[in-house]
Every structure is written in structure tokens, then in C-alpha cells.
């Protein structure tokens, strides 16, 4: 790296040691050895991630990498989601962040614009990057507008519906009743009929029975994940996309959003219209940070749409005979899920860019991704890792085909990667919240869309 910096090097090593010790005392991490001295001939790389359930797997990957690369040590540090981005951003600005870190598609465009990421193509270990070895399309998400690769695909996620078999049985239904559901934004199709049946008011009357009281509900047919902000990955993207609607004018790096599309607005109107029907919790009842996992676990909701990264969380619910169903088919004739993929990125401030690239290359290899898959937490990006995860989930009693079939069948839409992410969120979120609350009409999304698209003219 051309940035000078004995001072930065020393301060970052000291800060890294302090941070690692602090995190270890809180989350019980192991492997936080002191950084070797500058004249020891060894290098220590800091790797950060936000998901605590993935720490054991990545510690195993770190050990495997160290065994193959004597003299390079890896220190794994984990923070919760909110703290992670705050500390990461502050660290990158101050020159004291990690060498390598788990990155998200909503964050990396801004990191690229600020010049804080190193392109993988420019480093020896990753210069021959081959995106074809990963699940189709994942590598494309991490190609910047300059054509450079800024992330090594690490895993992917799709959406399915979690439910409690006991709740279905009480409603006189079986898992088969959730197969091949149909949905449309006009009357909700067979999907809404199921939601209605599973909704129960405080008097025990179901949503498809006379006398149902939508103002006093004990169990909602559909759990709430909130308003969904700009991408609605678990809330509404799988509904709107099933009408043929597309987020932007290009799969990656689009510069025109389509929130003014009647198909999108009809989908949003149907979803939040469930509140008045008593089939989904209100905004006020779930607050600004709803927990759909606990809604299912407590029995306050019967069906909980969510991402594949939450399988383990649902699986730990006590007293729940967990089932997983595929999302319903929409007007285009099949289901559609958002296809999101995380990546590992390299800080431009690392003192050891080539060693960091070697670590990233290893994290994206079959050797590591099979290890991660066997942990049964997420679906790694490489097919061999995906297969290992599928087997691990099956060993725990979970049929995860509702998630993986979407990828195999190509019933997916890519996560919308664009510039101006923070500005779009600030425009979109209050309006989506207002629609959910009932204080704004879906037609207000037309004005929102104009404001968002104007950003690409003023700040391309």
C-alpha cells in the first residue's frame, strides 16, 4: 500500500487489540491473539462480520487459511448489525478499520464512491477472479460502475414462508394447503384465503367466518416485517415482483426507479390493506423494529415470510413445529424472490493488501464455503457450499427447498444496486411508513419516484 504509515500501523494494531479484547469479553470470541511485533515477520489481518451465528464457521475458515499460509494470522471480530456499520464507517474514515470485512449491497456503492475499497482485480491473489464459479448472478452484483470487482461473493438469500404445523392443524389445514398458492393484488387469490383462515380474533372467530372482529385480533394470518423501506426484501418485493414489476431500469446500476408503476402501487395497497381486514398487525402494534420471528413464536402470527438467513432463528423457537413453504405465485405465473448476495471486501487502507487478497480468495473458495455450509446458518455462494448447507439444514429437520428451488428455477430478481442509497432511503422510508400507518395513499409513491429519479440527474 502506498499510504505511509508507521503511526497508522501502530495505532491500528493497538486499537485492533483493544477492540478484539472488548468484543471477546462480550460475545465470547476466541482466537483473538495479540498482533505480532513488526519485526516478527508475521502479518495479522482483521476480518469483521455482523452475524454472530457465523462466527464459529469463519473461525474455522481462519484456521484453515492460517494452516495454508504460515505467517499470516486472522483475527475475527463480530458486531451487531447497527454497531457494525457505525464502527466500520468510523474505522474506514479514521484509518483504523479492518483489512477485510463482510459487505452489503446497500453499503458498497458509497464505499466505492469514497475510494475506501480495493478492487479485487488489481491484486495478485484475486486478479483472475472468475464469477462463473458462484451461483449465477451473484458476482455481477459486486461489479462497480467502473467495471471493477469490489466483493468476493460469500453467500446468498431468498425468501420463503415460515409457519407452525400445529397452527395449521388447528385451522383444519395441512402443509399441502400452502403448496402452489396463488396471489394477485386485486383479491389476494388463494393466498389471502389462507391468511384469512389463519387469522383469529379474541373471541376465537376466524377471518373467513362471520362475526370476525378485525379490531381485536389474537392471531394474525400474516406476520409483519415493517414497511420495507426501499427494497422490501422480506415484506413486499416478492409480491410486487410476481406481477412483473421491476425495481429499476437495469438489474445493476440502474438510474431510474419504478415506484410509480401501477403494479407496484397495487401490491403495496393490497399488503397494507390487510391491516384493516385484521389479517396483519398494524404499524403501531409492532413498532419501528418488528420481529417476525417472535410473532410466529408467540403465536401472534401464523405465517411469517422471511429470508433464508433466519432459518436458524426460527428453528430455535420453542414449542413451534416449524414448517417452510414457498412464497405464492403471482400474476406472471410463478413465484419471484429477491436474490441478495453478500460479499467480502478489502479496505483500501489495509497495510497488507496482497495478504488481504489471499484471505478473500480463500473465503470465496470451496474449502471455506463448504465449511460455512456445514454450519447450517446460510447458503454459501458456491454451489458446493450451497449443497453442504442444504444437507446441514436437512440434518436439522428443515426442508429448505422453498429457498433453493427459487435459485434453481431462476425465479429471482437481483437486489437493486444503485448510487444515492442513503438519499433514496431518506425519501422513501417516511412515505412507506405513512402508507403502512394509513396516513398516506399509495399514489404518493408517484411523487416519491420523481424525487428519487431526480437524484440521478443531480448526483449521477
Q: Are residues 66 and 89 in the same domain?
A: yes
- So what's the pLDDT on residue 415? 92
For 62-98, the pLDDT digits (tens) are: 999 999 999 999 999 999 999 999 999 999 888 889 9
Residue 285 within any structural domain of the chain: yes
**Is residue 152 helix, strand or coil?**
strand
**Is residue 219 helix, strand or coil?**
strand
CB 33 within 8 A of CB 73: yes
For 144-186, the pLDDT digits (tens) are: 999 999 999 999 999 999 999 999 999 999 999 999 999 999 9
Dihedral angle at the C-alpha atoms of 163, 223, 82, 74, nearest 10 degrees?
A: 10
Residue 409 within any structural domain of the chain: no
The range of the structural domain enclosing residue 129 comes to: 6-156+341-400
CB 347 within 8 A of CB 273: no
The answer to whether the predicted template modeling score (pTM) of the entire model surpasses 0.85 is: yes
CA 110 vs CA 274, 339, 342, 420: distances in Å: 36, 21, 15, 8
CB 173 within 8 A of CB 163: no
- So what's the pLDDT on residue 160? 98
* Per-position DSSP letters for 250-274, written without gaps between them: SSBS-S-B-TT-HHHHHHHHHHHHH
Q: Are residues 424 and 296 in the same domain?
A: yes
CA quadruple 160, 163, 169, 170: dihedral positive or negative?
negative
- So what's the pLDDT on residue 37? 40
CATH code of residue 359: 3.40.190.10
Q: Are residues 443 and 309 in the same domain?
A: yes
Q: Are residues 123 and 178 in the same domain?
A: no
Residue 196 within any structural domain of the chain: yes
> 229-260 b/e with 16+ CB inside 10 Å = b?
ebbbbbbbbbbbbbbebbbbeebbebeebbbb
Least Cα distance to 258 among 270, 250, 246, 275 occurs for: 246
Q: Are residues 437 and 420 in the same domain?
A: yes
CB 64 within 8 A of CB 370: no
Q: Are residues 149 and 272 in the same domain?
A: no
Q: How many domains does the chain have?
A: 2
Q: Are residues 145 and 243 in the same domain?
A: no
Residue 222 within any structural domain of the chain: yes
CA quadruple 449, 450, 453, 454: dihedral positive or negative?
negative
- So what's the pLDDT on residue 229? 84
Least Cα distance to 368 among 85, 206, 152, 136 occurs for: 152
- So what's the pLDDT on residue 38? 47
Residue 300 within any structural domain of the chain: yes
**Is residue 103 helix, strand or coil?**
strand
Indicate the helix (H) or strand (E) that contains 32.
none
Q: Are residues 232 and 360 in the same domain?
A: no
Q: Are residues 348 and 216 in the same domain?
A: no
Residue 58 within any structural domain of the chain: yes
Q: Nearest-5° angle of CA 352, CA 153, CA 117? A: 40
- So what's the pLDDT on residue 234? 97
- So what's the pLDDT on residue 40? 55
Q: Are residues 138 and 173 in the same domain?
A: no
- Of 375, 400, 425, which one is at a domain's C-terminal end? 400
pLDDT per residue of the chain (460 residues) written in tens, 0 to 9: 333 333 233 233 333 333 343 333 333 333 333 344 444 579 999 999 999 999 999 999 999 999 999 999 999 999 999 999 999 999 988 888 999 999 999 999 999 999 999 999 999 999 999 999 999 999 999 999 999 999 999 999 999 999 999 999 999 999 999 999 999 999 999 999 999 999 999 999 999 999 999 999 999 999 999 999 899 999 999 999 999 999 999 989 999 999 999 999 999 999 999 999 999 999 999 988 899 999 999 999 999 999 999 999 999 999 999 999 999 999 999 999 999 999 999 999 999 999 999 999 999 999 999 999 999 999 999 999 999 999 999 999 999 999 999 999 999 999 999 999 999 999 999 999 999 999 999 999 999 999 999 999 987 7
- Of 350, 374, 400, which one is at a domain's C-terminal end? 400
What the block records as the C-alpha cell of 43 is 502479518
Could you tell me which residues come within 8 angstroms of residue 162 by beta carbon, excluding any fewer than 6 positions away?
Answer: 296, 303, 304, 305, 306, 310, 314, 322, 323, 324
Residue 317 within any structural domain of the chain: yes
**What secondary structure letter does DSSP report for 458?**
H
CA 410 vs CA 159, 161, 334, 341: distances in Å: 13, 18, 10, 15
Q: Are residues 170 and 315 in the same domain?
A: yes
Indicate the helix (H) or strand (E) that contains 345.
strand 337-346
Q: Are residues 310 and 357 in the same domain?
A: no
**Is residue 39 helix, strand or coil?**
helix
Residue 406 within any structural domain of the chain: no
Amino acid at each position: 500500500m502506498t499510504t505511509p504509515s508507521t503511526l497508522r500501523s501502530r495505532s491500528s494494531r493497538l486499537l485492533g487489540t483493544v477492540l478484539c479484547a472488548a468484543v471477546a469479553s462480550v460475545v465470547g470470541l476466541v482466537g483473538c491473539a495479540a498482533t505480532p511485533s513488526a519485526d516478527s515477520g508475521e502479518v495479522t489481518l482483521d476480518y469483521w462480520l455482523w452475524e454472530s451465528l457465523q462466527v464459529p464457521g469463519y473461525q474455522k475458515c481462519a484456521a484453515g487459511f492460517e494452516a495454508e499460509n504460515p505467517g499470516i494470522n486472522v483475527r475475527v471480530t463480530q458486531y451487531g448489525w447497527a454497531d457494525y456499520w457505525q464502527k466500520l464507517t468510523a474505522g474506514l474514515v479514521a484509518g483504523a478499520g479492518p483489512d477485510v470485512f463482510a459487505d452489503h449491497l446497500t453499503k458498497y456503492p458509497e464505499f466505492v464512491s469514497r475510494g475506501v475499497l480495493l478492487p479485487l482485480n488489481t491484486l495478485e491473489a484475486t486478479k483472475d477472479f472468475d464469477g462463473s464459479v458462484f451461483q449465477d448472478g451473484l458476482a455481477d452484483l459486486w461489479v462497480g460502475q467502473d467495471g471493477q470487482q469490489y466483493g468476493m461473493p460469500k453467500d446468498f438469500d431468498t425468501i420463503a414462508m415460515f409457519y407452525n404445523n400445529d397452527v395449521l392443524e388447528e385451522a383444519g389445514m395441512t402443509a399441502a394447503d400452502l403448496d402452489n398458492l396463488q396471489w394477485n393484488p386485486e383479491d389476494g387469490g388463494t393466498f389471502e384465503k389462507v391468511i384469512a383462515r389463519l387469522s383469529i380474533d379474541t373471541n376465537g372467530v376466524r377471518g373467513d367466518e362471520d362475526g370476525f372482529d378485525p379490531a381485536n385480533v389474537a392471531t394474525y394470518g400474516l406476520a409483519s416485517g415493517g414497511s420495507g423501506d426501499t427494497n422490501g426484501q422480506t415484506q413486499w418485493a416478492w409480491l410486487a415482483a410476481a406481477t412483473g414489476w421491476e425495481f429499476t431500469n437495469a438489474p445493476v446500476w440502474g438510474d431510474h426507479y419504478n415506484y410509480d408503476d401501477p403494479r407496484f402501487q397495487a401490491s403495496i395497497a393490497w399488503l397494507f390493506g390487510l391491516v384493516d381486514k385484521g389479517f396483519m398487525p398494524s404499524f403501531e402494534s409492532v413498532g419501528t423494529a418488528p420481529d417476525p420471528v417472535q410473532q410466529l413464536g408467540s403465536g401472534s402470527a401464523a405465517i411469517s415470510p422471511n429470508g433464508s438467513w433466519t432459518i436458524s432463528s426460527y428453528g430455535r423457537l420453542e414449542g413451534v413445529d416449524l414448517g417452510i413453504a414457498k412464497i405464492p405465485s403471482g400474476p406472471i405465473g410463478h413465484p419471484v424472490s429477491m436474490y441478495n448476495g453478500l460479499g467480502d471486501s478489502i479496505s483500501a487502507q489495509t497495510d497488507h493488501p496482497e495478504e488481504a487478497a489471499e484471505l478473500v480468495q480463500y473465503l470465496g473458495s470451496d474449502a471455506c464455503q463448504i465449511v460455512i455450509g456445514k454450519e447450517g446458518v446460510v447458503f454459501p455462494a458456491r454451489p458446493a457450499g450451497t449443497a453442504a448447507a442444504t444437507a446441514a439444514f436437512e440434518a436439522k429437520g428443515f426442508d429448505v427447498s422453498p429457498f433453493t428451488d427459487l435459485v434453481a428455477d431462476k425465479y429471482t430478481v437481483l437486489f437493486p444496486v444503485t448510487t444515492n442509497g442513503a438519499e433514496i432511503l431518506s425519501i422513501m422510508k417516511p412515505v412507506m411508513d405513512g402508507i403502512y400507518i394509513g396516513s398516506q395513499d399509495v399514489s404518493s409513491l408517484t411523487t416519491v419516484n420523481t424525487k428519487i429519479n431526480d437524484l440521478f440527474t443531480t448526483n449521477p
